Amino acid sequence: FIVKMASPNGGEDFESSLLSFEKLDRASPDLWPEQLPGVVEFAASCKNSITNSPPKWMAELENEDIEMLKELGSLTTANLMEKVKGLQNLAYQLGLEESREMTRGKFLNILERPKK
């Protein structure tokens, strides 16, 4: 790839002086050494282990969990946001219900420790 620059004099000598015909051999370990020794081997071993076995977190999932992940992954952004809002509302409602039940337990003296 050659870059031609326009010179004010329009001289071809200037352009030819900028050309470099040096060939770099990228396969040479002396010219292109590994920046961190051992990284290439480590990356290759990680790639092999990834393709052979599923990740640890995936092994603990049941079929129902995997189906839910697929379902959530297929949602559009708007649908996913709607689902998140629904979960937030559900969590809020559960919090209110728990608060009512704790208050009820307090009034009925259910939560007091027995006296020794």
pLDDT digit string (tens) for 15-30? 777 777 777 666 655 5
Q: Is the pTM of this model over 0.75?
A: no
* Separation between Cα atoms, residue 104 and residue 100, nearest integer Å: 6
* Separation between Cα atoms, residue 102 and residue 112, nearest integer Å: 12
Three-class DSSP category at 114: coil
Question: Cα 114 vs. chain centroid, distance in angstroms?
Answer: 52
Give 79-101 pLDDT, tens digit per residue.
999 999 999 999 999 999 999 99
* Separation between Cα atoms, residue 17 and residue 21, nearest integer Å: 11
